[in-house]
Amino acid sequence: MSFLPIFPLQLVAFPFENLNLHAFEPRYKHLINDCLEKGLHFGIPSVIDKNLNMVGTEMELLSIEKTYSDGRMDIKTKGKRIFRITKYHKTVPDKLYSGAKVEWLDFDLEGQYTLYEEIINQIKELYQYMNIKKEVPQLTSEFNTFQIAHLVGFSINQEYKFLQISEERNRQDYLLNHLTKLIPVVKNMEELRKKIQMNGHFKNVTGSGEW
């Protein structure tokens, strides 16, 4: 069992993710300063529909990029391990921020390469239909599904469910199932957009048999 300072946010953070944050509340400025001075890590549990969820990601403070005159900070962090809160403390003695006792959750990163290829190709197809000019990560020996979980149009509830899937193969299936359902919807929307844009334009019309 471990103790973590807690930084609840309305987002889902993933292991290995590089996450930039803006700390402006006094409690979070206090938390970041403690992490800097004492080498602490902190936890981001997700707040969804105003509810604090028990599973989150441990974050390492990489750097403070900018400190403003009023003490606000732009910081860079990186996701590490996944935890479950076993005991939440809204206040920590002598601290402005909250904390929690946590247990660490196991997860593996052993996926199938061919499925990674399929996922990447589907993301590229999705971006093409949506006209998104964004680089898709390259497949490397260290590639894993957590790296692309924010790139596929998940809702926050889907992201939270994804975080709790312990096996990489199951996360691959979850991603592919989502993309397989999403791409036809986006494709139809793009075709509808083009059809609406053509309204009022001269069209090439060909006959259709005898009718």
* Residue ending a domain, choose from 76, 105, 134: 105
**Among 81, 22, 21, CA closest to 57:** 81
The CATH number of whichever domain residue 41 belongs to comes to 2.30.130.40
Q: What CA–CA distance (Å, rounded) separates 207 from 211?
A: 8
- Based on the fold, state whether residues 97 and 121 are members of the same structural domain: no
Percent of the chain whose pLDDT exceeds 70: 92
- The 10 Å CB-count burial string (b at 16+, else e) for 116-147 is bebbbebbeebbebbeeeeeeeeeeeebbbbb
The answer to whether 105 and 115 are in contact (CB under 8 A) is no
Instruction: Give the per-residue pLDDT at 197.
Output: 67
pTM of this structure: 0.87
User: pLDDT band for position 210 (50/70/90)?
Assistant: low
Mean pLDDT, residues 105-130 taken together: 95
Provide the sign of the torsion angle of the four alpha carbons 194, 200, 203, 208, taken in this order. positive
- Based on the fold, state whether residues 139 and 186 are members of the same structural domain: yes
- Based on the fold, state whether residues 96 and 148 are members of the same structural domain: no
Q: What CA–CA distance (Å, rounded) separates 82 from 45?
A: 10
Q: What CA–CA distance (Å, rounded) separates 3 from 1?
A: 7
* Residue ending a domain, choose from 49, 72, 105: 105
* Residue ending a domain, choose from 105, 138, 171: 105
- Model confidence pLDDT, tens digit, residues 169-193: 999 999 999 999 999 998 888 777 7
Query: Could you give the C-alpha distances from 129 to 80, 125, 151, 194, in angstroms and in order?
Result: 33, 6, 14, 12
Residue 49 lies in a domain: yes
- Based on the fold, state whether residues 84 and 148 are members of the same structural domain: no
Phi then psi dihedrals of residue 2, to 5 deg: -130, 165
- Based on the fold, state whether residues 129 and 193 are members of the same structural domain: yes
- Model confidence pLDDT, tens digit, residues 39-86: 999 999 999 999 999 999 999 999 999 999 988 999 999 999 999 999
Mean pLDDT, residues 153-167 taken together: 97
- Based on the fold, state whether residues 129 and 80 are members of the same structural domain: no
Which structural domain, as residue segments, surrounds residue 161?
113-198
Instruction: Give the per-residue pLDDT at 187.
Output: 87
- Statement: residue 28 has pLDDT above 70: yes
Residue 209 lies in a domain: no
**What is the count of structural domains for the chain?**
2
Q: Can you point out the beta strands (E) in 68-180?
A: 73-89, 98-105
Residue 206 lies in a domain: no
Instruction: Give the per-residue pLDDT at 1.
Output: 75
